[in-house]
């Protein structure tokens, strides 16, 4: 798998994009920690530019502990800044997450038709919504969200995003891990956009750096 | 004697920005480090009057770096500048002795304000 990151962005642009990712992921951690009383440990994010057709393989390689299980929340967003965002819960952590919500509020669980799916949707929705919104805000764009969906990890394929961007082109992935400190839990977030968003990102990077003048 | 400022952040863009703003102040000498461990080393080497410290960094995170810096100088003025805006993070770094916590992206007025408040606390008010 070839990483074309250095072809698309220069060193300062990559660094600035990392900083923008940090800010977006930091806001997402705050929002989640306010909904469920946990402390989220942020990891250093990473960015790759790879062929869009290789994304399923890339995601699988980055979430190696998922074997047969695992749940993914998938949500696409449209606009000039468009793409898809995935939050991946490794299989071993699924039940810990459910228990976490049960511990918080029994009535919350009782209200839900399908607690398993709805807990994942709730957490995924918070992380995806905040990350994408903050990135869009930093870029100066607005996005329209499609409804989120719960999918099984073995259903990751190009069909998830082929309607949003051309799978024969390059795609930009911004990813990180959220660790829930006291609970030995973690999940992965992949924010994936087509390379058509690169001009918007480059403009946002210039604007971000202008504040320092 | 020049006032010494240490910038510890793995983001070059962030260091570049703070350097640009703070270097406009009279009589300052600015040092930089790209991770927590290097930050602690620079801290021991230069004994800065004020340190701006990121939290999410490779090699050694900012929490550990802050603890180490405060061991070296219990009166160290360390301003935490972070994208991690959780309440528990703020509480934790305040318990570790952070002088102030500012959120990213940095705002020039807040950085300059932190600089002057830090100097005042250091007894080097201008």
Domains: count for chain A = 1
Mean pLDDT, rounded, for B109-119: 96
Quick check: A19 and B13 CB within 8 A? yes
Question: Residues in chain A with pLDDT < 50?
Answer: none
Q: In the prediction, which pLDDT does A167 show? A: 81
| Distance, C-alpha A65 to centroid of its chain | 18
Q: For residue A153, what is the domain's CATH number?
A: 3.40.1550.10
What CATH homologous superfamily does B3-121 map to? Response regulator (3.40.50.2300)
Q: Spell out which residues of chain B touch residue A30, defining contact as CB-CB under 8 Å.
A: 84-87
Does the CB of A44 have a partner CB in chain B at under 8 Å? Answer: yes
Q: Is A29 on the interface with B (CB under 8 A)?
A: yes
Between CA B95 and CA A180 the distance in angstroms is 20
| Torsion angles phi and psi, residue A146, rounded to 5 | -90, 160
ipTM over 0.90: no
| Chain B residues close to A27, C-beta within 8 Å | 83, 85
Chain B from 18 to 37: CB within 8 A of any A CB: 18, 20-21
What are the distances in angstroms from CA A99 to CA A31, A103, B6? 20, 6, 44
pLDDT for residue A69: 65
Q: State the Rg of chain A over Cα.
A: 17
For A136, the domain range is 5-210
The predicted pLDDT at position A63 comes to: 79
Question: Percent of chain B having pLDDT more than 70?
Answer: 100
What's residue A14's pLDDT?
A: 93
Give buried/exposed letters for B87-109 (b at 16+ CB in 10 A, else e): eebbebbeebbbbbbbbbbbebe
* B86 vs A contacts (CB less than 8 Å): 26, 29-30, 33, 39-40
Contact A193, A86 (CB under 8 A): no
User: CB within 8 A of B34, min separation 6: which ones?
Assistant: B9, B10, B12, B15, B57
Q: What is the pLDDT of residue B103?
A: 95
Of B114, B123, B126, the residue nearest B5 (C-alpha): B114
- Interval B45-61: pLDDT, tens: 999 999 999 999 999 99
């Amino acid at each position: 798998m070839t990483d074309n990151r250095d072809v698309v962005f220069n060193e300062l642009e990559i660094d600035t994009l990392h900083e923008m990712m940090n800010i977006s992921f930091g806001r997402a951690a705050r929002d989640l920690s306010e909904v469920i009383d946990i402390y989220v440990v942020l990891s250093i994010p990473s960015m790759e530019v790879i062929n869009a057709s290789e994304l399923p393989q890339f995601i699988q390689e980055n979430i190696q502990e998922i074997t047969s299980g695992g749940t993914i929340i998938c949500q696409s967003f449209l606009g000039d800044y468009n793409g898809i965002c995935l939050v991946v819960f490794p299989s071993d952590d699924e039940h810990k997450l459910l228990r976490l919500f049960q511990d918080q509020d029994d009535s919350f669980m009782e209200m839900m038709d399908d607690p398993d799916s709805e807990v994942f949707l709730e957490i995924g929705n918070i992380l995806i919504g905040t990350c994408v919104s903050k990135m869009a805000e930093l870029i100066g764009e607005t996005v329209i969200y499609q409804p989120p969906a719960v999918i099984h990890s073995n259903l990751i394929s190009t069909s998830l995003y082929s309607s949003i961007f051309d799978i024969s082109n390059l795609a930009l992935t911004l990813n990180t891990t959220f660790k829930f400190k006291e609970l030995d839990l973690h999940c992965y977030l992949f924010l994936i956009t087509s390379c058509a968003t690169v001009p918007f990102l480059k403009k946002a990077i210039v604007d971000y750096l202008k504040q320092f003048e | 004697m020049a006032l010494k400022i240490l910038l510890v952040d793995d983001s070059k863009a962030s260091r570049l920005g703070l350097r640009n703003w703070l270097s406009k102040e009279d009589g300052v000498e600015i040092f930089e480090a790209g991770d927590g461990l290097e930050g602690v080393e620079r801290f021991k080497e230069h004994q800065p009057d004020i340190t701006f410290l990121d939290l999410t960094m490779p090699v050694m995170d900012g929490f550990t770096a802050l603890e180490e810096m405060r061991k070296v100088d219990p009166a160290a003025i360390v301003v935490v500048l972070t994208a991690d805006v959780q309440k528990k993070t703020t509480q934790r770094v305040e318990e570790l002795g952070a002088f102030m916590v500012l959120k990213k992206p940095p705002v020039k007025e807040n950085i300059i304000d932190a600089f002057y408040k830090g100097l005042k606390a250091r007894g080097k008010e201008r």
